Amino acid sequence: MTVPKEYDPHIIEPKWRDSWNMSMYHFDWKDKSRPQFIIDTPPPYPTGNFHIGNSLNWCYIDFVARYKRMCGYNVMFPQGWDCHGLPTEVKVEETYGITKNEVPREEFRRMCRELTIGNIEKMRSTMLNLGFSTDWSNEFVTMEPEYYSKTQRSFRKMYDMGRLYQSEHPVNWCPRCETAIAFAEVEYDSRETMLNYLHFGDLEIATTRPELLAACVAVAINPEDERYCAYVGSTVKVPLFGHEVKVIGDMAVDPGFGTGVVMICTFGDKQDVRWWVEHGLPLRKAIDKNGLMTEIAGKYAGMTIPDCKRAIVEDLKKEGYLFEQKPLDQNVGMCWRCDTPIEILSERQWFIKIDTDEVSKASNEIKWLPEYMKVRLDNWTGTMEWDWCISRQRLFATPIPVWYCKHCGEVMVAKEDWMPVDPTQQEPPQTCKCGSSEFEAEEDVLDTWMDSSITALHVSGWLTDHEMRLPTQLRPQGHDIIRTWAFYTILRSMAIQGKRPWDAILVNGMVLGQDGHKMSKSLGNVISPEEVIKDYSADAFRQWAAIGGSPGSDVMFRWKDVVSASRFFAKMWSIYRFSMSHLEDYEHDDYKHSGPDISGLKIVDRWLLSNLNRLIGSVTMSMDNYQFDEAFKAIRGFTWDILADNYIELVKSRLYGEDEAGKNAARYTLYVTIDALSRLLAPFAPFFAEEMFSGIGNGSVHVQSWPKVNGSMIDADAEASGEFIKDVAGSVRRYKSDHGMALNAPLEKIEIYGTLDDITDVLGATNSPVEIIAGEPDFEHVPVSVKPNMGVIGPKFRGQAKAIINALAEENPKKIADEIVNGRITVSVNGDMLELDPDCVEVEKEVVSAGRAVDVLDINGIPVVIVR
RNA sequence: GGGCCCGUGGUCUAGCCGGUUAUGACAUCGCCUUUACACGGCGGGGGUCAUGAGUUCGAAUCUCAUCGGGCCCA
């Protein structure tokens, strides 16, 4: 087999991508013999761009999926698409130059669908290029009836459980998107606003929202504030509007803020809502759904909020109410989609009751990776005040399956067997209790988190003929959506099935640009995975993902990491090419059937195989702990430092030599190592590993088993001897280098004063005669210093340790060295004689040559004499 | 204001339930074309492990404080 000199990923990667039979990654619903490993893959929003952040997360998922499959699990790595939502609506409006109200509802939804289908296609292509082992037989698309009927059925089920209700309640409202949004969708940003001081009846208040004067329903003071406590119970007149409001006392009022008097409006902020509820205040709606002032704002009616604010401030000044203005830094809640400041409006909405105890209980059963991410969920659940508002006033989303009877107003929630259903297009198939068959459709739609919070249920086979497989094994996701997707999924899984959705959650970090900042178009630091594939390779990108940082931490994208990844593949390829040139006519089946003849292996072979088995052990452990960076670094270290830089150099003479037994031992070792490495690399570099494995094995590497540690090959003696040979070869190489000699130049003789059974590879590697000599050489080792071994002395002598160290420093090294030979060291500590074990110290010796024309190398205390 | 994470050579990073000379990558400098690889090999320089205090025989590692950075929330 001829292996090309250079590895060209632009040929190899498309070759495998196009020839792989993806059915090898399918989950087997019927198989009960293998343990299941179901991944609750995040369904990305189909923007048409599978970006680098997605890619990092998917690399992690793919590492796990491929690893678990090789370990014998029945793995499901499904792929979903979370289609519904505002961005698509906005994009459609932009693309066609329309607004959603200008075309029929169904037409608008069709446009959204089409855009989404095209976007999914683009993202799928990137995913295939990145080599993900997606199970496409378990793909789901939330806008398809098959999926959203499940969303609707979940609505019905939770309605029947009494966990869903409709109510007029204050909600966060985005005036631009004209929809209610959940708290999870509110982002905060600090902005400078003006704090306005107003004469307010006999009182003085400070407010940042003078435009809400029309909505003022009370004035509050702290009852312990002596300046104002007498006013509690009285009424004051609202400036400009003239209506009378009560003065109430509430401990939540901060006497130190502003004047210590605050006006309560319906609603300026969340605190207003709390007061409104606690004190049973009336409701005055001054802002409508479009963000315009209502009738109660009198002459300001119809104005936008900022216009109204300006006009009212102007009038307050004119009328002499406003006596001071101070700038104030304030955190403003904004819509996460469009950054418009949100308002709190009271509207009739659908809500899901939140049971935080239930969520906490499930969260405690789930293994969080990294563990500290759990705190984020706990903090969120601990501060929830309102239920989850699930209705939205948009179009492209799952319809709320509800009608209202026109006669008696009764709510008719669709039955499960009517679903999927769009109440705006269909009439209920039965009449109302009151006998009427005239209904009004619910036009609101569901929050998209209602779709995506049942992914775990969906992939587990919920509402199908398959056996239910909940809990799934792994939820991989970003830390930015812990309070949304993770929270809602747990809530829904517990409510509907009474089970935790997953055994473990693996939280990935965000990808930062080369400059250390979050990737964003405005900073111009965005890199697409397709770019990386084009310039380097998918495997190199995947290696960056593996090695760039431990899961959970934010990872910087750096081109040089991709470059060094490509270099590793170049190196590995070169090793592979070298190995294959020696394995051409090699019949590895002999070894396969009868097992390796260990006795035929040389020390260096056993040293390598011992290290290989240790590698397998450590990589397996890292993979089990989702420590991909550790795993890959270990593979890289073994390959480069042990296999390439040392083993191959040491066995070259055997491989090119005449001794068949020695040659075969090296070939066997190379074969086993290449085989194991291709399997270890398979989860990380599926293309490269496949190419490698195709040269030595049958079938795809991705259906092979994960290598197992062969304990009998782990041999500390072989490791020590092998290490020694490696060190001798290395030292001699360095010696030649230092003395300006060619590295293959022969030396007259090398004398090793120690024990070594097999000198074959030392001979080969040094290209010089080697003699093993028992006993001491004709030069002296002079002990020059004694180094205390703190790891032994510390725990043993505790408080005395320091005194012993000092005492040892005083002693004559020669005396200590002599005592070590006798097995007991005595040392005088503060006048007392103490006995120490020899392992308490290390004696450093200096070699003094006895007049021969030689150079002496000291290798781990063993003298090696070089005769030139 | 509260919570979480982090601060290690020029840059990024490992180590962090205390114990040899603090890991590796990139960068840098010197030497080397040796029959897998110059996208390579060998070697060198470069760190008060943010600062200060404490616990301890011993601290990058544990505790507290300070400073700085990031994230989540109010």
The ipTM value here is: 0.89
Distance, CA of A613 to C1' of B11, in Å: 35
Point out the residue nearest to B35 (C-alpha to C1'): A656
Distance, CA of A375 to C1' of B67, in Å: 26
**Residue A210 three-state SS:** helix
Can you state the percent helix, strand and coil of chain A, rounding each to 5?
45, 20, 35
Point out the residue nearest to B37 (C-alpha to C1'): A574
pLDDT of residue A627: 87
Where residue A394 falls among pLDDT bands split at 50, 70, 90?
confident
Where residue A780 falls among pLDDT bands split at 50, 70, 90?
low
Distance of alpha carbon A166 from alpha carbon A161, whole angstroms: 14
Nearest to A147 by CA among A455, A400, A466: A455
Residue A814 one-letter amino acid = K
Using the predicted structure, report yes or no on whether residue A417 has a pLDDT greater than 90. Answer: yes
Distance, CA of A379 to C1' of B52, in Å: 32
Using the predicted structure, report yes or no on whether residue A555 has a pLDDT greater than 70. Answer: yes
What are A725-772's pLDDT values in tens digits?
888 887 887 777 667 676 677 777 888 887 777 777 888 777 788 888
pLDDT of residue A848: 60
Question: For the residues A454-478, what does the mean pLDDT come to?
Answer: 95
Distance, CA of A549 to C1' of B47, in Å: 22
Distance, CA of A746 to C1' of B20, in Å: 36
Using the predicted structure, report yes or no on whether residue A476 has a pLDDT greater than 80. Answer: yes
Q: Which strand B bases fall within 7 angstroms of a protein CB?
A: 2-5, 12-15, 19-21, 24-27, 31-37, 39-43, 56-58, 70-74
pLDDT of residue A587: 64
Question: For the residues A597-626, what does the mean pLDDT come to?
Answer: 88
Where residue A593 falls among pLDDT bands split at 50, 70, 90?
very low
Q: Which nucleotide is nearest to A742 (CA to C1')?
A: B34
Where residue A854 falls among pLDDT bands split at 50, 70, 90?
low
Using the predicted structure, report yes or no on whether residue A850 has a pLDDT greater than 60. Answer: no
Distance, CA of A623 to C1' of B29, in Å: 38
Average pLDDT, chain A: 86
Distance of alpha carbon A99 from alpha carbon A93, whole angstroms: 5
What are A151-184's pLDDT values in tens digits?
999 999 999 999 999 988 788 888 887 887 776 6
pLDDT of residue A832: 75
CB A644 within 8 A of CB A651: no
pLDDT of residue A536: 92
Where residue A596 falls among pLDDT bands split at 50, 70, 90?
low
What are A573-586's pLDDT values in tens digits?
999 999 999 987 77
pLDDT of residue A590: 54
Helix (H) or strand (E) holding A220: strand A216-221
Question: For the residues A385-398, what does the mean pLDDT come to?
Answer: 86
Where residue A119 falls among pLDDT bands split at 50, 70, 90?
very high
Q: Which nucleotide is nearest to A842 (CA to C1')?
A: B20
- Report H helices in A383-475: 448-452, 455-459
pLDDT of residue A20: 97
What are A604-618's pLDDT values in tens digits?
999 999 999 999 998
What are A708-737's pLDDT values in tens digits?
999 888 888 888 888 888 888 878 877 776
Using the predicted structure, report yes or no on whether residue A386 has a pLDDT greater than 80. Answer: no
Point out the residue nearest to B72 (C-alpha to C1'): A376
Point out the residue nearest to B15 (C-alpha to C1'): A630
pLDDT of residue A463: 96
Q: Which nucleotide is nearest to A373 (CA to C1')?
A: B4
A476: left (phi over 0), alpha (psi -120 to 50) or beta: beta
Residue tagged 């029947």 (tokens): A160
* pTM over 0.90, yes/no: no
Distance of alpha carbon A836 from alpha carbon A305, whole angstroms: 84
Which residues fall within 8 angstroms of residue A586, CB to CB, at 6 or more apart?
A664, A667, A671
Question: For the residues A389-403, what does the mean pLDDT come to?
Answer: 91
Distance, CA of A649 to C1' of B36, in Å: 10
Please give the C-alpha separations between residue A515 and each of A103, A338, A519, A550, A785, in angstroms, as whole numbers.
Answer: 45, 26, 9, 19, 49
Question: For the residues A639-661, what does the mean pLDDT come to?
Answer: 89
What are A27-77's pLDDT values in tens digits?
999 999 999 999 999 999 998 999 888 898 999 999 999 999 999 999 999
Could you tell me what percent of chain A has a pLDDT over 70?
93
Using the predicted structure, report yes or no on whether residue A852 has a pLDDT greater than 60. Answer: no
pLDDT of residue A291: 86
Which residues fall within 8 angstroms of residue A332, CB to CB, at 6 or more apart?
A188, A189, A190, A191, A193, A341
Question: For the residues A635-642, what does the mean pLDDT come to?
Answer: 91
Point out the residue nearest to B58 (C-alpha to C1'): A794
Distance, CA of A630 to C1' of B60, in Å: 20
Q: Which nucleotide is nearest to A575 (CA to C1')?
A: B36
Q: Which nucleotide is nearest to A382 (CA to C1')?
A: B73
